[in-house]
Structure 1
Amino acid sequence: MTRSINAVIFAGGKSSRMGKDKALLPFGEYLSLAEFQYAKLSRLFNKVYISAKEHKFDFECMVIKDTRKETSPLIGLISIFETLEINEVFILSVDAPFVDEEIIKHLLEHDESMLDIIVAQSPSGVQPLCGVYKRSILPLAYAQLEKGNHRLGDLLGLAHTRFVPFEEDKPFTNLNHPEEYQEAIKHFENSAG
């Protein structure tokens, strides 16, 4: 990658629609979706961490545990900047396996110093868990937390955010339901083979 920046995989969700923890489902040649994403991002970034409530992974990785009881991406973001002494981080949801190097590089090319957040936007909408977040969001994030508002979309609206347009939804497919997971495995096997 052109810039030295760390990455964090968000894997702390409840996975209620999947019926089991999707971060731990096998994917490709890896024992889990989390390990698949970790291996991919490790080729692109200095350091890769996983944001989660606990260390539940069966491979060697660095986990940033949530610093609060609630579960939300907002809590994950706050925990990252409270735990690591970094000014910016690339974040990606564990259940978006088709976000590739090209997409990530394209996002990073749109960074400017006055921005707080750079996120992908596909035809179906904003992709808040695929982008760069900077420490400058912390005061806004704390204020939102104080109000009990965990919606990242609202945080994006308050911050200096750049929405980077992409023409397709497919790379940003989230694996929320068992059938989406099965479909993704088929797609991945076909494109790999």
Structure 2
Amino acid sequence: MRTTAIILAGGQSSRMGTNKALLKLNGKTVIEGIAESLEKVADEILIVTNTPADYEFLHLPMTEDKYKGMGPLAGIEAGLSASNTEYNLIVACDMPFISVDLGNYLLSCLADYQAAVPEISGRLHPLFAAYRKDVKEAVTKSLEDNQLRIRHFLHSIHVKIVKNDVLELLGLPDEEIYFFNMNDRNEYEKAFTMLRR
């Protein structure tokens, strides 16, 4: 089964004060590092962005939000609409330490579920999760109903919640790092500390 990795790069980065996807980490931009990891997971990579000129240097296919200003759910809708494959992995552009093994596992869950979403220490992570293309109708309905919380849309589909014990079985005990995302300068600095570790 062919797969697509969809990078959501549509946020405002207002707390960071600059485009966080283009910050440098380990000698390359954050989004470059994410794309390199995703090459090991998916057959195709797609970027969802409303500023495509920012990402032309990646030479990857891009698409824009149809529902402008409606947050990450709109990014998921745009990505699933543009995807050529039934199995898709959604990744936010500010998660520099994603796990290839976990990405592969989440995609494998789509054989039996419409989505696979990690829940670590009681917190859902729908922006590092796998979705079948056929959930797009439910996403669109949520957007049209102005129900923009991803958690709300997940209630309407058949979803597997992936918990800490699965990460331990995959040999990924330090779950904090795989879901770490950078929203401000302090978290960007923390990323350098995590990188050294």
Partner of 2:193: 186
Greater percentage in helix: 2
- Percent identical residues: 24
TM (norm. structure 2) is 0.86
**Secondary structure of the corresponding residue to residue 147 of structure 2:** coil
Structure 1 portions without partners, runs of 5+: none
Q: Does the C-alpha gap of structure 1 residues 84 and 171 become closer, same or farther in structure 2, counting only changes over 3 Å? A: closer
Aligned: 1:96 with 2:95: yes
| Equivalent pair of 2:117/2:159 in contact (CA under 8 Å) | yes
In 2, the alpha carbon distance for the partners of 1:60 and 1:146 equals: 32
| SS of equivalent to 2:13 | coil
| TM-score, normalised by the number of residues in structure 1 | 0.88
Alpha-carbon distance between aligned partners in 2 of 1:174 and 1:124, rounded to the nearest angstrom: 17
Deviations 1:69-92 (A, max 9, x none): 224121112112322332221111
- How many angstroms does 1:105 deviate by? 2.4
Query: 2:33 matched to which residue of 1?
Result: 36
2 CA distance for matches of 1:112 and 1:43?
Answer: 19
In the alignment, the residues of structure 1 paired with residue 74 and residue 81 of structure 2 have an alpha-carbon distance, to the nearest angstrom, of: 10
Partner of 2:135: 137
The correspondence for 1:123, drawn from 121, 124, 129, is 121
CA displacement at 1:54 relative to structure 2: 2.2
- Measured after TM superposition, the shift of residue 25 of structure 1 is 0.7
Correspondence 1:80-91 to 2 at 5 A: 80-91=79-90
- The one-letter code sitting in structure 2 at the alignment partner of 1:182 is E
> How many residue pairs align between the two structures?
186
Detail structure 1 runs of 4+ shifted over 4 Å in the superposition: none
Report if the CA contact (8 A) 2:5-2:42 is conserved: yes
Q: Give the direction of change, closer, same or farther, for the CA distance of 1:170–1:62 in structure 2 (3 Å limit).
A: same
Deviations 1:52-102 (A, max 9, x none): 112112332221221232241211121123223322211111111122112
**Map 1:42-191 → 2, pairs under 5 A:** 42-55=39-52, 56-57=54-55, 58-113=57-112, 115-166=113-164, 168-188=175-195, 190-191=196-197
**CA RMSD for the aligned pairs?**
1.7
